[in-house]
Amino acid sequence: MDRWYSPREIIFSRDQVLFLLENLTLLRKGEYPPDPANSGYTGNDRGSISTHAPFETPCQFAAEIDSRLDVTNLYGKLLLAEINAGVPLWELSKESRLALNYCSGWRRRRMSFSDWKRTKLYRQRLSTKRYALS
């Protein structure tokens, strides 16, 4: 893992979703992955008082990723399996990339996964026809 994001940086970009998927088991346990660039100190720096428990944010990230993956059915399971196997982004299968793109984004998509795939394919065909005509 060559990337790390603090909880405040998470906006569910593609790289951040990959980071969350790589650490999903840790997040489900209520632990956020430690920053690998730290000086070796692994304890939490709790200098300020918070109204939230320390496990809340990781659990919320895990629940959000799980709910987004559930919508994608087999594609999401394939994505999770490929991420756990250590497949790099550029070698992900087409189905996994579709699931990753669907799961990315600040908000959950309101459109179902099958409808989203259909509109994506329609837009691709439309753009290739446009280039073919010119």
Question: What are the tokens at 92?
Answer: 């992900």
* Closest listed residue to residue 30, CA positions, set 3, 52, 62: 62
Number of CB atoms found within 10 A of residue 103's CB = 26
* Burial category of 21 from C-beta neighbours within 10 Å (exposed 0-12, middle 13-18, buried 19 and up): buried
pLDDT of residue 125: 72
pLDDT of residue 124: 72
Residues near 72 by beta carbon (within 8 Å), at least 6 away in sequence: 79, 98, 99, 102, 103, 113
Distance, in Å, from the CA atom of 68 to the CA atom of 109, rounded to the nearest integer, reads 9
Convert the pLDDT of each residue in 40-71 to its tens digit.
Answer: 555 555 556 778 888 899 999 999 999 999 99
- Which residue type, as a one-letter code, is found at position 117? K
pLDDT of residue 42: 54
Convert the pLDDT of each residue in 103-118 to its tens digit.
Answer: 999 998 899 999 998 8
* Closest listed residue to residue 20, CA positions, set 54, 58, 67: 58
Convert the pLDDT of each residue in 21-41 to its tens digit.
Answer: 999 999 999 999 988 876 555
Per the prediction, the chain carries an average pLDDT of 86
Question: What are the tokens at 19?
Answer: 């980071």
